[in-house]
Structure 1
Amino acid sequence: MQHFVVTGIGTEVGKTVVSAVLCEALKANYWKPVQAGDLHTLDSDFVRSFTSETEIIPSNVLLNYAMSPHEAARLDEIELTEDDFDLPRFSKQTIIEGAGGVMVPLNDEGLCYIDLFQLWELPVYVVTKHYLGSINHTLLTLNALLSREIEIAGLIVNGERNEASERIYYSHFPDLAITTIPELNEFSKESIQQAAKLWIEQLA
């Protein structure tokens, strides 16, 4: 039973949408250890709404401020440590969504998401999106994971592929598995299911 982590090259690249698509494609459960911001519209609610069989595993930490977890936790008078992020006993395959990128801090002592990924020893899917600067952000993320000997499950492009960018990725990571999920303008169970089908077809 293989679990996967989903991280992004930064904010607003579509990690939650990709997580929903992977949950649908793999018939997996979903866990987001930390959710910060509007607690009435959680990322887990999005995944629950647009997938058919996904069980939502409750987050370990809910923070009230839409900002970096280390500062949101400070404002909520919570101190986060590695002990807060032990992997639950998953009953089936699970997609674990991070927040922001790999170096997003969880406390003022230097704990970042990449430390959790290394602790969990799970393969990581990196979500990217093509924009000016995305090559730099993508390579920095992939190299950060590589430096910690964290397995890279693949690079998932949210939106249209860009051959010029992908040539650079392959020049650094010749064995990198690159797949695409179409950028969705409207969300429904049907659109997530179709994106999941297209993603599975790319693995054949």
Structure 2
Amino acid sequence: MQQKLFLTGIGTDVGKTICAAVLTAYFQAEYWKPVQAGSLSYTDSMRVRELTGHYTHPEAYRLQLAASPHNAAAKEHIHIKLDHIQLPDTDQQLIIEGAGGLFVPLSDQVFMIDLIAQFAIPAALVVRDYLGCINHSLLSIQALRQRKIPLSYLILNGTFDPDTERVICMYIGQETQVIRIPELDVIDRAAILSISKQTLI
């Protein structure tokens, strides 16, 4: 893995945080979620730390409402600014988890993909198999390509129809490695660490 990796998804609820935990353990990395919207009593950072035991950096923005970051911020009269979101100063490998997909708005002017471009680091794209996932996956891959953001990893989270997997994987470049994370019946530290000890790449 590159020293820093931005983990995004083809949409909401595709399992980014679980995949982030697996990669954090696999790469022996630290974890950072720049923007947390909602669930402040049990944030994604808290969950990853619980599942891996690894260090998690504090969020740049912690917003009360479980909604798109631009909406959650507006409710608190906050304007999210890219220059306020700075990469943590660390020599360790770092997994960064975004909120939702690439075009989740951080404000009326900027989107999650703009944050990835600002960091100038590779991305990992989490995909889950559902009706419409091929379209969402190919749109996401194309958007990253247009912004010249390297896609280091395509993460297939859970069980996939073979033809769905085949079509999606046709559209990634040779520089992109595929990681398959199995469906988990129980999500706890033992399960995450067990997967992280497997050869994922």
TM-score range relative to shorter protein: over 0.9
Aligned position for 2:84: 84
Count of aligned residue pairs for this structure pair: 199
Q: Write the letter of the residue equivalent to 1:169.
A: I
Alpha-carbon distance in 1 for matches of 2:66, 2:169 = 35
Alignment partner of 1:87: what SS? coil
With normalisation by structure 1, the TM-score equals 0.93
Q: Runs (4+) of structure 1 moved beyond 6 Å? A: none
With normalisation by structure 2, the TM-score equals 0.95
User: 1:174 offset after TM fit, Å?
Assistant: 4.6
Aligned position for 1:171: 170
The alignment-based identity, stated in percent, is 41
For 1:141-180, list aligned pairs within 5 A.
141-175=140-174, 176-180=176-180
1:111 aligns with 2:139: no
Alignment partner of 1:49: what SS? helix
Alpha-carbon distance in 2 for matches of 1:192, 1:158 = 13
Aligned position for 1:27: 28
Aligned position for 1:134: 133
User: 1:87 offset after TM fit, Å?
Assistant: 1.3
Alignment partner of 2:197: what SS? helix
Q: Write the letter of the residue equivalent to 2:200.
A: Q
Q: Write the letter of the residue equivalent to 2:172.
A: F
Alignment partner of 1:80: what SS? coil
Q: Is the 8 A contact 1:105 1:111 kept in 2?
A: yes
User: 1:91 offset after TM fit, Å?
Assistant: 3.2
Alignment partner of 1:27: what SS? coil
Aligned position for 2:193: 193
Aligned position for 1:10: 11
Alignment partner of 1:86: what SS? coil
Q: Write the letter of the residue equivalent to 1:3.
A: K
Deviations 1:35-67 (A, max 9, x none): 011210100111011103x11100010000000
User: 1:179 offset after TM fit, Å?
Assistant: 1.6
Q: Is the 8 A contact 1:29 1:57 kept in 2?
A: yes
Aligned position for 2:50: 49
